[in-house]
Amino acid sequence: MNDTERLAVADACRELIHRYAYLNDERDFAAIANLFTEDGVLCRPTAPNEPILGRAAILKALQSRPATTATFHLCTDVLIEVDSPERARARSRILLLSGPRGADGSHPDAAAVKPPLPGTFRDELRLTPDGWKFSRRMGSLWVALRAT
């Protein structure tokens, strides 16, 4: 692989990671599930030891999230390791803000926003006929900070 190809892979993978964060906050769970391979695995940061196996199960798990909670995921420090033209690995940092959604679906009042939860994702990404997808997305939160 030349440098131009490596940069193109890294850009596509970085875009996938950022798209996940936006879709999550927009509650577009079908679109999130489509970011995974059919046999993809997701461990949400709030449940890092509970793997969700397969695109259909990922969709079902995401749809079970309470509609009364609004989220804001900040995704930073995305590092991509390109293994081949079809495979890559990534790690990134996240900061989750959440709070109760207003009765009209509005964002939470500033006083109701919970303390931020920092965490990380470790990803395995694969090129498919439909573009780059997550084959594994392993999240975790900084447990020590979550208790405060």
Provide the CATH number for the domain around residue 108: 3.10.450.50
Q: Return mean pLDDT, the chain.
A: 91
**What is the model's pLDDT at position 83?**
97
Please state, as a whole number, how many other Cβ atoms lie within 10 Å of the Cβ of residue 16: 21
For the whole model, what pTM was predicted? 0.90
| Residue-wise pLDDT tens digits, 4-46 | 999 999 999 999 999 999 999 999 999 999 999 999 999 999 8
Six token digits for residue 61: 């798990």
Mean pLDDT throughout 70-90?
96
Tell me the residue range of the domain where 33 lies. 3-146
pLDDT at position 105 over 50: yes
Exposure of 89 in the CB half-sphere (CA atoms within 13 A) = 4
Residues 25 and 62: their CA atoms lie apart, in Å, by: 11
pLDDT at position 64 over 60: yes
Residues 120 and 48: their CA atoms lie apart, in Å, by: 10
Q: What is the 3-state secondary structure (H, E, C) of 3-42?
A: HHHHHHHHHHHHHHHHHHHHHHHCCCHHHHHCCEEEEEEE
* Amino acid at residue number 23: L
Count the domains in the chain: 1
**What is the model's pLDDT at position 145?**
43
